[in-house]
């Protein structure tokens, strides 16, 4: 199964750590990062898609962060 996640957070080092943690667990970057201004909070938000080959079949109950 090919698993997909879209990681998001404010544009801080915490976002970089979130992506780094996913990479250290075998996830791979998928596409370019995205940035958007959140007018409600006045901060920039980041997003990065990641993918991973995982054993088993897909189920909506899968906790993607645990793969």
9-53 pLDDT per residue, tens = 999 999 999 999 999 999 999 999 999 999 999 999 999 999 999
Distance from C-alpha of 19 to C-alpha of 9, rounded to nearest angstrom: 10
Calculate Rg over the CA atoms of the chain.
Answer: 13
Distance from C-alpha of 28 to C-alpha of 59, rounded to nearest angstrom: 21
Q: Where are the domains of the chain?
A: 2-57
pLDDT at 37: 97
Contact (CB, 8 A) for 66 and 43:
no
């Amino acid at each position: 199964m090919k698993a997909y996640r879209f990681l998001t957070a404010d544009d801080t080092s915490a976002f970089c750590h979130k992506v780094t943690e996913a990479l250290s667990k075998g996830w791979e970057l998928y596409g370019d990062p995205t940035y958007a201004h959140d007018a409600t909070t006045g901060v920039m938000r980041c997003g990065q898609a990641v993918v991973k080959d995982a054993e088993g079949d897909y189920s909506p109950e899968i906790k993607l962060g645990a793969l």
